[in-house]
A and B are shown apart, each in its own frame.
Chain A
Amino acid sequence: MKRIEGAARPTTVHIKVDGQTVAAFEGECLAVALAAAGHRHLRDSPHRGTPRGAFCMMGVCQECLVTCDDVKVTSCSTPVRDGMRISLGRAP
């Protein structure tokens, strides 16, 4: 995923992704903000450990689940807020 260049963006905010500070835009889709920070691979599948990322973009497939402030959320349907703490479900 890649932000469309030249599209107007609201305020820049900062979120933490696995401890690293990342700039994002207030209200933008969390999955897009994560991809822009280089995180398309959001989690590993539970049994075979294959890499997964945002897929359906409508909150159905659950592939884009990340932990946001200690609660599991679908990143495709979660708007970015300043100070969010995200942890990805990837094997270290």
Chain B
Amino acid sequence: MSRIEPMRASTDLLVVGAGPAGIAAATQAAELGLAVEIVDDSIMPGGQVYRTAPPGLPARDSSPDSRKGDTLRRALAGTGARFRGATRIWFAAPGFTVAGVGPQGPITWSPRAILAASGTTERVIPVPGVTLPGVVGLAGATILLKTHQALPGARTVVAGAGPLLIAVAAGIIKSGGSVAAIVDLASRGDWLSRLPAMLNRTDLLRQGMDWLRLIRRARVPYYRRHGVRRVIGEDAVTAVEIAPVGADGAMRADSAGRRIDCDALAIGHGLVPATELTRLLGAAHDYDQTAGGWIPRLGADQQTSVEGLFAAGDGTGISGADAAVLAGRLAALAAARHLGRLSEAALEQRARPIRRDLARARRFGAAMGALMALRNGLAAQITPETIVCRCEDITRAEIDEAAASGVRTLNQLKSAIRCGMGPCQGRMCGDAAATLIASASRTDRSAVGQWTARAPIRPVQLADMVGEYDYDDIPKPPPAPA
């Protein structure tokens, strides 16, 4: 077999992530005449919020979200930007060199600028039994509904925090499924306090009201200021136990629980910015709990601390799809300025109205984001036997023991007990583990730090990293003379 050399792609701007921020950025940059490539894990552009059915599967009914997504996709398709789907970035080095794997095999890029639009992953603070089959993330449930034409189960409990709760519950009902209960950490007052920020987005407010009407009509029990205490089942979920919580998400140990029979649980406690690319490239980050966690430190037009590296969208702090589109555009303008395609005056002229609209869009997005911010009481009440790190089967008790023996940072925790070292690379447990260490060592989250990002930042096959070759392809020096 002959060696497969990685495909080399030369481009001015490489956009990583094809959600609203990435699509808007790639479209804008291509319109300014830059050579642009945009890559995403998914087969189709759209990201999580504007996900669509893969080619060949019939698309679902039109909705405000699907129409917005289609508009963005059409605009992107109308430019010279090249979209590479089903492509996973696993390596990046300053300078820049970026490596990924796509359907045709390995690809390396040497882009002059990079725009990280990596979006988020979902935070699920563990409870006993949350690893049982039948439990999915709330964001996962939206993917099941939007892309896969599937329900989480025949009878689903929808639990956690934020607007995804009602979006998922309404989506299940609309698709003919059954919602056993909605279990919301927030009170009615928590939602109402966000109302002023929502009032300038009557379209989204109306959508929310429609969802709530649907939920009421289906007579779904709605438990406010409640959380899931444990998930019950042997090989899969058969019930959940819920109990009242305080404003910080903590349950009183002695409060009576209520058992709800179900065959699926969709649970999520908010979104966490995905920063592995900006971390790997050495950009400065700050911890901001209301923004969702660690976020890259940005200049006025989305520049990170690394020259030529820009970032936009929820990966820079949770503020929603509309803000992501504007931030993506702004980042593209700044990248075009960096690459000498725009003058300072032209940048200023184009950026000014976008900056203004962005500030407005962020008000709404940040209000929704705040509903999803980490509640301190949630991690505090994880029981000792609960598995926190799914990959390595590490319990709260083991993390506490490590903290008691002197572990003070996430990276030390990883070295000490392998927490975060498994194939998800700490994406699922990092938030809970960091909170546990911070509280055990009485410091704040920023002192606990983030995991150091290391390539491969996503799991890839070894053959995809090195290419395929056999013994004859290896260069060998001639044997020494006898």
Interface residues of A (CB under 8 A from B): 1-10, 26-29, 32, 35, 40-42, 45-48, 50-63, 65, 71, 76-77, 79
Contacts and interface: CB of A to CB of B under 8 A. Distances in A.
B153 A1 contact: yes
Nearest to B268: A56
Contacts of A46: 391-393
B149 A4 contact: yes
Contacts, number: 137
A61 B133 contact: no
What are the 3 closest A-B residue pairs judged by CB atoms, nearest first? A53-B133, A57-B140, A47-B393
B56 A7 contact: no
A21 to B, nearest CB: 21
Nearest to A50: B131
B360 interface: no
Given A1-B264, A60-B121, 6 more contacts: A1-B144, A4-B149, A40-B134, A50-B393, A60-B427, A61-B390
A32 B428 CA distance: 22
Contact of B393 (A35, A45, A79): A45
Nearest to A57: B140
B76 to A, nearest CB: 21
Contacts of A26: 56
A39 B461 CA distance: 25
Nearest to B461: A71
Interface string B110-134: 0000000000011000000001111
B148 A61 contact: no
7 contacts: A2-B177, A10-B58, A26-B56, A35-B150, A41-B236, A48-B387, A58-B143
Interface size of B as a range: 35 or more
Interface string B440-463: 000000000000000000010100
Interface in B385-411: 387, 390-393
Interface of B: 41-43, 48, 54-58, 60, 121-122, 131-137, 139-141, 143-145, 147-154, 175-177, 235-236, 264, 387, 390-393, 422-424, 427-428, 459, 461
Given A61-B424, A77-B41, A28 B176 contact: no
B461 A7 contact: no
A60 B149 contact: no
Contacts of B122: 56, 58
B393 A32 contact: no
A10 B57 contact: yes
A59 B90 CA distance: 14
A2 to B, nearest CB: 5
Given A7-B149, A55-B135, A41 B235 contact: yes
Contacts of A32: 144, 148, 150
Given A2-B150, A3-B150, A52-B133, A57 B139 contact: yes
Contacts of B121: 56, 58, 60
A29 B43 CA distance: 12
A58 B118 CA distance: 13
Contacts of B135: 53, 55
B387 A50 contact: yes
Contact of B133 (A40, A56, A58): A40
Contacts of B141: 57
Contact of B140 (A2, A52, A56): A56
A56 B124 CA distance: 10
A77 B57 CA distance: 15
